[in-house]
């Protein structure tokens, strides 16, 4: 009756890059797919992102990174998540991500990588599958 | 219950989890609320209502900073009015509370209405208790005022601030919507633009000398981006809270609010129970079919359906 588990997602823009068109398109598509989406706004620090993820009790954190710093940013996120004892959230990364970096990101703990140009349906399908 | 214990010790993760449980309508969530409830009743619960775009989120962010500078602990619940057909929502209020979002001691939770458009989310009630359990002194609830909302937001909140702007256009529309009436304080936002003073005058005239249980409703101007006027608004909020505690009418009002809240929740519970039980039965669908085929009128259909549901 309108009360049930909904997939809740934080779309976050870490660091300095100021391009959020891609992030907003993804956020909108996830909304239309029936998810509750929180958009962080630009220029968030890792700690701010974790803080939002905790307070909003999201299932998934999606990082949108266009700056090329996806490896150090993701490493730092997982380090801080571990320190904060936050272990119940999936992380995915989108943005400008060269294919060669995908295995490394997965090694850090990322559940999915969706470089720019990935069909939105693919991201949606992925999220519906991991959040049970 | 472990989560409740941790909540009362100030654990944000437990607070967030408990709010989710209430949102999901899980029985453990409501059991937890019963345990938390005895620890509540002291926080100042402030409702901020007004049309989309009036500046509610921006104002709440600034008010939060103002309260924080006095050492108060703040909780914010932002109920988003938008939701697409599939039930999804893009919750964007938090982005407007930039500074507050960066500040420790402020807990912000966004909420979709999950199927009850126009109302504060049912879970917002439970969330205020959870946030008070977390140790918050001030809890602000953002909600658009449309449809049935106003009744609910005044039932939940000690003080309601109605946010309007002079570029809202039609003041008459505003008064018709009853938004001004439910405000204990009216804030005319975006006073950096022209026309704010006129709006203050129009609204003051509309309110006249009418009092809200002995409280004279202040009409103030604010500029939520620069923060101009926010301190003054905060002082009115504090004054209203003292007024409620010091006057018998305030104590009486609280009792009425609790009753209204219970009746609202009961109405919803009864509706859900009945629809769960009946909506898929052939008997119920038969009545709907007769209506759709023009065989019975809507009154008769309702009469038949209620006879069916309440026959013993
Ligand atoms: N000029 C001006 N714009 C404002 C003011 N307060 C808010 N806004 C803007 O109004 C828009 C809507 O604000 P928001 O807080 O999201 O409104 P809400 O929908 O009522 O929560 C945003 O673009 C704000 O930046 C103000 O005092 N002056
Ligand atoms: Mg808002």
CA dist., res. B52 & res. B190, Å (int): 14
The tokens describing B101, both together, are 């979002």
| Secondary structure (3-state) at B211 | strand
CA dist., res. B117 & res. B83, Å (int): 8
Q: Name the CA radius of gyration of chain B, rounded.
A: 21
CA dist., res. A96 & res. B116, Å (int): 39
Nearest protein CA to atom 8 of ligand 1, as residue? B55
Residues found in chain B: 312
CA dist., res. A16 & res. B253, Å (int): 50
B77 phi, psi to nearest 5 deg: -120, 115
pTM over 0.90: yes
Of the candidates A31, A37, A57, which has its C-beta nearest B16's C-beta? A57
Say whether pLDDT at B312 is over 80: no
Residue B69 CB neighbours (<10 A) = 11
Say what angle helices A46-56 and B12-23 make with each other, to 10 degrees: 40
CA dist., res. A65 & res. A96, Å (int): 6
Q: Could you identify the atom of ligand 1 that is nearest to the CA of residue B224?
A: 27
Q: Specify burial of residue B88 (Cβ count, 10 A radius: 0-12, 13-18, 19+).
A: buried
Question: Which position has the higher pLDDT, A51 or B24?
Answer: A51
| Secondary structure (3-state) at B163 | strand
Strands (E), B81-151: 89-91, 106-112, 138-143
Taken in order B122, B125, B128, B130, the sign of the CA dihedral is: negative
Q: Name the CA radius of gyration of chain A, rounded.
A: 14
Q: Kindly determine whether residue A38 and residue B16, on different chains, have CB atoms separated by under 8 Å.
A: no
Mean pLDDT of chain B: 88
Q: Kindly determine whether residue B88 and residue A57, on different chains, have CB atoms separated by under 8 Å.
A: no
The tokens describing A8, both together, are 């809740």
Question: Which position has the higher pLDDT, B87 or B49?
Answer: B49
Q: Mind listing the pLDDT tens digit for each residue in A67-76?
A: 899 999 999 9
Taking contacts as CB-CB distances below 8 angstroms, the residues of chain B near A54 are 12-13, 16
Average pLDDT over residues B63-82: 92
Question: Which residue of chain A is at minimal alpha-carbon distance from B91?
Answer: A38
B273: CB partners within 8 A, 6+ apart = none
Q: Mind listing the pLDDT tens digit for each residue in B172-217?
A: 566 656 777 788 999 999 999 888 888 898 888 888 777 767 899 9
Contact yes or no for B120/B79 (Cβ under 8 A): yes
Query: How much of chain B, in percent, has pLDDT values that exceed 70?
Result: 89
Say whether pLDDT at B60 is over 60: yes
Question: Which residue out of B50, B52, B53, B233 has the highest number of ligand 1 atoms within 8 Å of its CB and is therefore the one to mutate?
Answer: B53
The pLDDT of residue B83: 66
Exposure string over B188-206, b if 16+ CB within 10 A, otherwise e: bbbbeeeebeebbebbeeb
Say whether pLDDT at B25 is over 90: no
For chain A (length 132 residues), average pLDDT per consecutive 10? 72 86 91 92 92 96 93 96 94 94 96 91 92 82
Task: Give the fold, CATH level 3, of B38-249.
Answer: Rossmann fold (3.40.50)
A67: CB partners within 8 A, 6+ apart = A15, A16, A17, A96
CA dist., res. B189 & res. B295, Å (int): 53
Nearest protein CA to atom 11 of ligand 1, as residue? B53
Taking contacts as CB-CB distances below 8 angstroms, the residues of chain A near B110 are 38, 56
- Of A75, A95, A32, the closest CA to residue B82 belongs to A32
CA dist., res. B138 & res. B161, Å (int): 14
The tokens describing B253, both together, are 């009002």
Question: Which position has the higher pLDDT, B151 or B100?
Answer: B100
Question: Which position has the higher pLDDT, B52 or B176?
Answer: B52
Query: How much of chain B, in percent, has pLDDT values that exceed 90?
Result: 59
B199 phi, psi to nearest 5 deg: -65, -40
**Could you tell me the domains of chain A?**
8-130 (3.40.50.280)
User: Angle CA(B266)–CA(B272)–CA(B275) in degrees, nearest 5?
Assistant: 135
Exposure string over A24-36, b if 16+ CB within 10 A, otherwise e: eebbbbbbbbbbb
CA dist., res. B108 & res. B128, Å (int): 11
Of the candidates A1, A31, A54, which has its C-beta nearest B272's C-beta? A1
Q: Which of A40-49, B7-16, B51-60, B264-273 has the lowest mean pLDDT?
A: B264-273
B61: CB partners within 8 A, 6+ apart = B96, B97, B98, B99, B100, B101, B224
The pLDDT of residue B242: 95
The pLDDT of residue B145: 63
Q: Mind listing the pLDDT tens digit for each residue in B223-278?
A: 999 999 999 999 999 999 999 999 888 888 889 999 988 988 888 889 889 999 99
Q: What is the DSSP letter of B119?
A: S
The tokens describing B204, both together, are 């003051």
Say whether pLDDT at B220 is over 50: yes
- Please state the domain extents for chain B: 38-249, 264-309
The pLDDT of residue B149: 47
């Amino acid at each position: 009756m309108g009360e049930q588990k909904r997939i809740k997602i934080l779309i976050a823009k870490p660091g300095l890059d100021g391009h959020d068109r891609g992030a907003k398109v993804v956020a909108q598509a996830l909304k239309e797919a029936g998810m509750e989406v929180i958009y962080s706004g630009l220029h968030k620090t890792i700690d701010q992102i974790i803080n939002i993820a905790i307070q909003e009790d999201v299932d998934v954190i999606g990082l949108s990174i266009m700056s090329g710093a996806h490896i150090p940013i993701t490493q730092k996120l997982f380090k801080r998540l571990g320190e904060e004892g936050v272990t119940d959230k999936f992380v995915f990364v989108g943005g400008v991500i060269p294919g060669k970096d995908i295995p490394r990101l997965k090694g850090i703990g990322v559940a999915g990588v969706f470089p720019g140009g990935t069909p939105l349906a693919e991201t949606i399908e992925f999220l519906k599958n991991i959040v049970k | 219950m472990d989560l409740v214990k941790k909540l009362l010790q100030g654990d944000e993760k437990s607070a967030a989890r408990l709010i989710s449980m209430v949102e999901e309508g899980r029985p453990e969530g409501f059991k937890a609320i019963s345990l938390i409830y005895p620890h509540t009743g002291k926080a100042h619960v402030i409702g901020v209502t007004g049309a989309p775009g009036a500046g509610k989120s921006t104002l709440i962010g600034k008010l939060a900073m103002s309260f924080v500078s006095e050492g108060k602990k703040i909780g914010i619940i932002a109920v988003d009015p938008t939701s697409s057909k599939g039930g999804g929502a893009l919750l964007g209020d938090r982005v407007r509370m930039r500074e507050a979002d960066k500040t420790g001691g402020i807990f912000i939770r966004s909420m979709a209405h999950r199927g009850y458009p126009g109302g504060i989310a049912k879970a917002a009630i439970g969330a205020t208790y959870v946030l008070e359990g977390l140790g918050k002194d001030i809890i602000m609830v953002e909600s658009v005022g449309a449809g049935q909302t106003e009744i609910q937001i005044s039932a939940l909140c000690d003080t309601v601030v109605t946010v309007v702007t002079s570029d809202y256009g039609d003041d008459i529309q505003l008064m018709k919507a009853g938004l001004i009436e439910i405000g204990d304080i009216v804030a005319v936002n975006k006073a950096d633009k022209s026309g704010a003073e006129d709006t203050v005058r129009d609204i003051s005239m509309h309110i006249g000398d009418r009092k809200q249980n002995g409280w004279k409703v202040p009409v103030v101007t604010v500029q939520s981006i620069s923060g101009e006027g926010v301190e003054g608004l905060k002082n009115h909020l504090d004054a209203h809270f003292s007024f409620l505690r010091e006057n018998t009418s305030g104590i009486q009002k609280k009792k009425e609010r609790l009753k209204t809240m219970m009746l609202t929740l009961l109405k919803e519970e009864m509706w859900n129970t009945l629809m769960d039980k009946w909506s898929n039965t052939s008997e119920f669908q038969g009545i709907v079919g007769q209506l759709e085929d023009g065989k019975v009128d809507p009154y008769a259909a309702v009469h038949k359906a209620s006879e069916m549901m309440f026959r013993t």
